[in-house]
């Protein structure tokens, strides 16, 4: 019976994600053209359906990396497990694993605790690869933000987090790190976690494994060299992955962090109504929630403080990402 329920939940996830399978790794140039074409197409899903966040691309002027240190709220990365991106040198070991492309976007049925059954099913299926789709069954929330480019709201978000004494994880790409050194330093100095979102934000299942490794290791090395900071959390671009990718990320000493809540917040010219957005994200709260929010969103910056207050009033605790041994 457990296998039947798991199969039903997984079927709901695949239907909600609206993604097709990829039987094998493809030519990277061909995939690049495919990704560019997809990025130019307007989304067709409704807000209440599962969605796959897209990172908008935007050039920004380079900012100096040397900035004054901000007061620390707590110690940052010292106690976290260190990644080892150079550990992987051979890729033949992954050929026995499933290369089928999967896309993650929680939606569909929920259990009696308001938790996505799809997230619970994926957690059971892929948790062995140190992948997190949902946290423990506790009234705890982990806030995560994806950063593809700066839209002027990250400072406001950091101000709210500092005022409310709430930690968060910021998943960044290399172009963001290169242009927003001041914000990266502030994130680190104020006790937040900076996570790896790859160098160029490609679809990993459509990218050769050796190149996937470079996407992770390149950003890891850049942040280490320029900020003396060790990253060990990874978020797949667009939530797209396969079993080979999960194992690669694990072998590089990283945890794969997905999410159990996301909504259509990344379209800067089509922002959700703040009142409606606040109601939605409060109503979708659940034990072990991993929230994915985009820092380019003006709505998120406006409602973040009220969201934190509402959740605390309901007995929820905002936690830093657990330091789970790899």
Residues in the chain, overall count: 326
Sign, CA dihedral 11-12-15-20, equals negative
Q: Which entry of 192, 220, 286, 294 is annotated as an active-site residue?
A: 294
Asked if 308 and 283 touch (Cβ cutoff 8 Å), the reply is no
Q: Please report, for residues 157, 179, 182, 186, the alpha-carbon distance to residue 66 in angstroms, rounded to integers and kept in the order given.
A: 22, 12, 7, 11
DSSP-assigned beta bridge partners for residue 103 = 240
**β-strands 240-241, 102-103: how paired?**
antiparallel
Q: Is 129:117 a contact under the CB 8 Å cutoff? A: no
Instruction: Respond yes or no: is residue 294 known to be catalytic.
Output: yes
Please identify which of the residues 146, 245, 251, 265 carries the catalytic annotation. 146
Catalytic machinery residues: 146, 294
């Amino acid at each position: 019976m457990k296998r039947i329920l798991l199969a039903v939940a997984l079927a709901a996830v695949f239907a909600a994600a609206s993604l097709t399978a990829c039987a094998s790794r493809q030519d990277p140039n061909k995939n690049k053209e495919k990704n560019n074409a997809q990025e130019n197409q307007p989304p067709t899903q409704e807000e209440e359906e599962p969605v796959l966040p897209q990172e908008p691309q935007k050039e920004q002027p380079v900012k100096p990396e040397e900035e004054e240190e901000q007061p620390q709220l707590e110690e940052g990365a010292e106690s976290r497990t260190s990644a080892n991106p150079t550990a992987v040198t051979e890729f033949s070991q992954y050929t026995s694993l499933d290369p089928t492309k999967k896309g993650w976007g929680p939606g569909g049925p929920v259990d009696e605790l308001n938790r996505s059954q799809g997230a619970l099913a994926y957690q059971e299926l892929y948790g062995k690869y140190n992948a997190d789709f949902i946290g423990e069954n506790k009234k705890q929330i982990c806030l995560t933000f994806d950063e593809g480019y700066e839209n002027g709201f990250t400072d406001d978000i950091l101000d709210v987090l500092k005022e409310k004494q709430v930690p968060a994880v910021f998943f960044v790409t290399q172009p963001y790190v290169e242009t927003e050194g001041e914000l990266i330093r502030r994130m680190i100095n104020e006790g937040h976690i900076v996570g790896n979102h790859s160098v160029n934000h490609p679809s990993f299942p459509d990218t050769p494994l050796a190149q996937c490794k470079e996407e992770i290791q390149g950003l890891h090395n850049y942040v280490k060299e320029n900020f003396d900071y060790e990253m060990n959390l990874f978020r797949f671009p667009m939530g797209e992955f396969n079993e080979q990718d999960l194992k690669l990320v694990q072998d590089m000493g990283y945890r794969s962090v997905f999410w159990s809540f996301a909504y259509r917040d990344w379209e800067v010219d089509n922002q959700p109504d703040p009142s409606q957005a606040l109601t939605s994200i409060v109503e979708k709260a659940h034990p072990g929630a991993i929230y994915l929010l985009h820092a380019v969103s003006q709505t998120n910056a406006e409602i973040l403080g009220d969201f934190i207050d509402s959740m605390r009033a309901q007995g929820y605790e905002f936690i830093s990402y657990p330091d789970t041994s790899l």
